[in-house]
Amino acid sequence: MSISRPTKLILTFLALLAFAFIYIPLIVILINSFSTNKSLTWPPSGFTTEWWGRAVDSEGVRDALLTSVIVASAATAVALILGILVSLVIARYRFFGRESISLLIVLPISLPGIVTGIALNNVFTSYLGGLTFLTLVVAHATFCIVVVYNNALARLRRLGGNVEEASADLGAGGWTTFRLVTFPLMKSAIIAGGLLAFGLSFDEIIVTTFTAGPGITTLPIWIYQNLFRPNQAPIVNVVAAALILVSIIPIYVAQRFSSDTNKGGGIL
């Protein structure tokens, strides 16, 4: 279909507007982190790198960053194991209840975070003796499974079963086939899924506030606690700006590693 020139121009203009809408707030945060203003006042009256230095020196920020990295790593490890197992089952087996399983995996991210949050909070505090570091990891792993699963499943579907059958014909057992054939072929998709799971856990705030033990401060919790404190605004700006810059990395790596990340309509 030939699209007329005026239509093209209008569409280009609308697309530019949309990208402006998407990027202006992020750019504002980046600029604000260098602003000499101590509040969110715009435009900045001057520029300084002082806040970046203070943020790097801030013990609260560093502790929170470390906590976030540990939680995200642990949750990703669990999600990787469980996600790969389920993807193998869904891709290679046909059985009763298969559809329900794929629905069950998507459920933790499709239900409102606050529902997942208070549901887990209720069970942890009422029946399992209270919130700890472990409860936070369990909660995060639960909603991270889906991204590992989706990436691994997309890869398995694309591979088909032929190479595995060839391996079995050559006398390899199930485990040998997985170790020498399936896993190496899945590896880049697993890395992509793992990275996305890490990213998902790293900046989750809602489930986190309901399942983190007392005194456990992840980076989003730190931001949340300091958001409304006027004298902390400059440091919050820096942390926010740093998080925007860091969030580009998983996208870049995931895109490089997984040719089926753009599997068409797939978000996770």
Partner 1 sequence: MTTTTATHRGFWYRHPNLRLAGLLSAPMAWLVVVYLGSLAALFITAFWQVDDFTGQIVRTFTLENFQLVFTTPAYLTTVARTLGIALLVTLLCLVIALPLSFFMARVASRRWQPLLIAMVLTPLWASYLVKVYAWRAMLQPESGVLAWLIGPLGLESPGYGFIGIVITLTYLWLPYMILPVYAGFTRLPGSMLDASSDLGAKGWRTFRSVIVPMIFPSVVAGSIFTFSLSLGDYITAQIVGGKLQMLGNVVQQTYVSNLPFAAAVSTIPVVIVLLYLAAVRRSGALENL
Closest CB 199 distance from partner 1, rounded Å: 5
Nearer to partner 1 by C-beta: 126 or 231?
A: 126
Interface pick for partner 1 out of 50, 183, 184, 262 (rule CB under 8 A): 262
Closest CB 251 distance from partner 1, rounded Å: 5
Helices 183-202 and 233-257, packing angle to 10 deg: 170
Q: Residues in contact with partner 1, total (CB under 8 A)?
A: 91
Tokens of 202: 């790293």
DSSP 230: G
Show contacts with partner 1 in window 70-109 (CB under 8 A).
78, 81-83, 85-86, 88-89, 93, 95, 101, 104-108
Token pair 């499709």 is found at: 110
Question: Side chain identity at 134, as an amino acid letter?
Answer: L
Tokens of 70: 């540990």
Interface pick for partner 1 out of 156, 231, 236, 260 (rule CB under 8 A): 236
Show contacts with partner 1 in window 45-74 (CB under 8 A).
none
Interface with partner 1 includes 215 (CB under 8 A)?
no
Show contacts with partner 1 in window 18-47 (CB under 8 A).
18-19, 21-26, 28-29, 32, 39-43
The span from the CA of 161 to the CA of 83, in Å, is 19
The span from the CA of 157 to the CA of 150, in Å, is 11
Listing DSSP states for 143-155 in one string gives HHHHHHHHHHHHH
The total of other beta-carbon atoms located within 10 Å of residue 78's CB is 18
Among the residue ranges 3-11, 51-59, 151-159, 183-191, the one whose residues contact partner 1 (CB under 8 A): 3-11
Sign of the dihedral through C-alpha 266, 139, 61, 43: positive
Closest CB 1 distance from partner 1, rounded Å: 3
Nearer to partner 1 by C-beta: 59 or 94?
A: 94
Interface pick for partner 1 out of 204, 212, 234, 235 (rule CB under 8 A): 204
Backbone angles phi, psi at 206, to 5 degrees: -70, -60
Interface with partner 1 includes 248 (CB under 8 A)?
yes
- Cβ atoms of 233 and 221 closer than 8 Å: no
Closest CB 204 distance from partner 1, rounded Å: 8
Show contacts with partner 1 in window 122-151 (CB under 8 A).
122-123, 126-127, 138, 141-142, 145
